[in-house]
Structure 1
């Protein structure tokens, strides 16, 4: 703050000296060129007075209110738009969980799912080596169906010492229980 005061003081002194010494030069230029610069100075002065009168002109609403209200409205609209965008994203995730899309499965994948569901309540469950026989498929067709079901995360193949159980995942159970599922008859 002190430095700013010193700079302004030095500039003031320099300005005073230049005006004192150059006063006659400035007067001569103004007298000679008044015809040219006079109208420009009067126009600038009239414009400044007009702006001042417009700002201080008494109106029913204060001028600051005319500026603040639109800014506040724009701010509220932007905040509501951001909130709505987040809410729509959340709602779409909830809708996806409530109404899962059913993956397209072929007939062999359906047969494997039927075999897994049929053995779900049993003590041993369904072993990986018995899936093809339980589904009534060749080993190649069964392996292809297992690949498809694992790709859609509908089954889980556990790895044990004596048994390799094949079970439904949460997504697999949701697939069977989903309305409109081709395997919904197995849910009874």
Structure 2
């Protein structure tokens, strides 16, 4: 991050250089010192005119047309490349929606999610304060499992006067009900 003082200093230096360049150009025009760079300007102008005259030579197909065709071809290739990249990204996004992949969960996260799935849908609800004891995990492993579940958005917490209740989110239900889920046995137990 550049401080305001450095920005002001940088602007003043750039301004001073620009003013010096303008002043030098004006001085060259007024004092007739333009002749010192006149050969460079005239040579560059001559070369530019030679290139244009070469491109405009009258032949069966003007040479400048080759350059135009080349530029159009490069533009078309660039446009088609960008279009294919864009379509590829759209197809990947649509494929991800149609065939969602399961988030990778470790054993601790799976154990916590199992307890939430089995007990979170009951009428009385599952309170957050009960969850660590119900999982049977040490506090560190429980916290790691909850962090993983939170990162993937697999549960929701609702506030109430009796305490915070935890249930599966829509994504958590999808995880449990997915045919390739390692926790699909929980659904069979609930039936």
Query: The TM-score by the shorter chain falls in which range?
Result: 0.5 to 0.7
Question: For residue 68 of structure 1, what is the aligned residue in structure 2?
Answer: 68
Structure 1 stretch 138-147 or stretch 69-78: which is displaced more? 138-147
CA contact (8 A) 1:102 1:181 kept: no
Shift of 1:86: 2.1
Shift of 1:101: 4.3
* Residue 55 of structure 1 pairs with residue 57 of structure 2: yes
The 1:139–1:130 alpha-carbon spacing in structure 2 relative to 1, beyond 3 Å, is: farther
* Residue 125 of structure 1 pairs with residue 109 of structure 2: no
Question: Secondary structure at 1:166's aligned position in 2?
Answer: strand
CA distance in 2, matches of 1:117, 1:157: 13
The 1:93–1:87 alpha-carbon spacing in structure 2 relative to 1, beyond 3 Å, is: same
Question: For residue 153 of structure 1, what is the aligned residue in structure 2?
Answer: 153
Q: TM-score of the superposition, structure 1-length normalised?
A: 0.56
CA distance in 1, matches of 2:143, 2:65: 74
CA distance in 1, matches of 2:176, 2:168: 10
Question: For residue 105 of structure 1, what is the aligned residue in structure 2?
Answer: 106
Matches within 5 A, 1:135-150: 135=135, 137-138=136-137, 140=139, 141-150=141-150
Per-residue Cα deviation, 1:126-169 (whole angstroms, up to 9, x for no partner): 2212324544x156254443333223322222222113111122
Shift of 1:109: 2.5
Shift of 1:125: 2.4
Question: For residue 5 of structure 1, what is the aligned residue in structure 2?
Answer: none
CA distance in 1, matches of 2:171, 2:161: 26
CA distance in 1, matches of 2:110, 2:159: 23
Per-residue Cα deviation, 1:30-59 (whole angstroms, up to 9, x for no partner): xxxxxxxxxxxxxxxxxx8xx67x8223x2
Question: For residue 180 of structure 1, what is the aligned residue in structure 2?
Answer: 180
Structure 1 stretch 80-89 or stretch 177-186: which is displaced more? 177-186
Shift of 1:65: 4.6
Which of the two has higher C-alpha Rg?
1
In structure 1, stretches of 5+ residues that fail to align are 1-47
- Tell me which stretches of 4 or more aligned residues in structure 1 moved more than 6 Å: none
In structure 2, stretches of 5+ residues that fail to align are 1-49
Q: Aligned pair count? A: 135
CA contact (8 A) 1:156 1:166 kept: yes
